[in-house]
Structure 1
């Protein structure tokens, strides 16, 4: 699309909080940059922003409450009407030409705002259907346990409300074909476009560091990510290649339990829990690792997978969800089961491949996913929505 089609258009992005790094937040920040490069004036409306943790370009305005809660907190949900009123007031004050909502509950913010501000077009960038409503897997890994039980008890009501509210949106963009299928199944909505996350290849060295004895996984340490399963896989790998190490990057509520499990498996001495690292440090691990392992099942996409490929690192993942759209036979292995020994054997086979050739093929595959392509696809939908609504108000 022409890079001036959003010239002087005001685009307001809704996002829960800018506090914890993650795939959806990275996507949102990259999207804001892409829309700005296409001439739009972009702001992000959020309940809370920690500038020391999440740094944002000065060209992108952040509208945050000085004392806003995390949306995972009980205080947020008990005060929902107050925060929804604040959000609608901020939308009115900023007066956007277009609203873009992101992950739950910001999609609800947008849909409820549309009830009182129908003149503003609303695009939902769906990373997955509201996971803590529709996915029992996600609900059962919620911590503490009372949150999981409460979410399960409220699930029928919330699922009904979620489907009803979705009708207030004007268009949906999905981050993968898998997510598009979920949007159709859950909401009976057809997406306007599929805009995969991207990767900046220039952030990764053209040549990989010399192959190390390192295996890698990067994830929030929740039950949904199945890091415990990957520890079992690694234990099986060590039986054949005892010199290897596993680096686990990320933190979360399962950290202590996972360390204990590694001790139970008698592999704790060869597992490094790095916690949260700066992106440059993660890039160093991607470019030096011999294999990336991804334990999630039916994940919407998997941004870490394309970052691993950009680092020239092959991927071992489950044959479901986003990885089916990322990993090819030349760049890794997709497993049809959750058999730890089968995964261990597949990992060993990947480790025995030609390292230099595999690295080239991985980087070539990663090049298929660019933020420019993401921006082009979403900007095109934005332009269409703004044009449509302008034609209605100025026939």
Structure 2
């Protein structure tokens, strides 16, 4: 029976308790053992339904609460924490563009513990934003969906796949530079013509269940299709919402790595030149630990600021000014989060000493997770947008990565 979470405070408490129970992550990562049992716990906990609007029985938590939920989970298991990312992002697309009937259907499913996984990324386009997967009209109504998607996080365990595709029968809007409009199709995982391969072989985020999704002439009913491109036709926080959760994952990795470093220091031997009894008393090590704590706390504070700015923008009618401010705050947080996760997860070994490099402890997972997840979208472009906004007031572009 899926628990129903009623408040933001309850959502955060449930996330903290789940994170504490995910203590065997090191073994799962080392063996690449996918988190089937843990995902059942996640679904039963009610966390998959916390963004559901109140009129459909959900807690409709703030972005600030949602970011803290993801951060908490990522401190324990960054792979598991990433799996519900696209779940909540596409539920927000449903909120923005879905019909009342579609919202009733899919929000109720989420409240019942159903997991929605993405099928977005493709390898063949000129850029990562290009989609070849196509929804073409089917005689008699509905569509036929054909294509291939990669890095489909959580797809192996999903109840529903959310597939981004081009609408082949819709003309390119005048003046558009984005090609034909896109939509997302909500497909039951066992839909005929859908195949999910367990072929993700990344060095980090090893247990995200990010398989390849093959779509071979898949029949799709009209009520399974939700417009996607119109989300970006006006001021929106859609991209900021997605990105602040990526930042939360990186901040969680950084905090988890620092916690692991502290544990390692308690077991480490001091360097003989320091003249101290314990490694924790070694002055240079103390200095480095302090610097890392400052770095992580800064990233945590920027994450909270970004989430609050999104909530502030959404409290009233969205405007160019409020959504730009939210996107810039989120870009800043994302850059700080990425830097802290990579730096701290590397410095972990300097604090912990040679023993921390043991394969049995598998502490390399923090760095591998950080280095892999931070490749999701380049922070160099976020720095550019921040600089342009600062110097000339140029608002950031509208897309799902900002």
TM-score by length of 2: 0.26
More helix by share: 2
TM-score by length of 1: 0.26
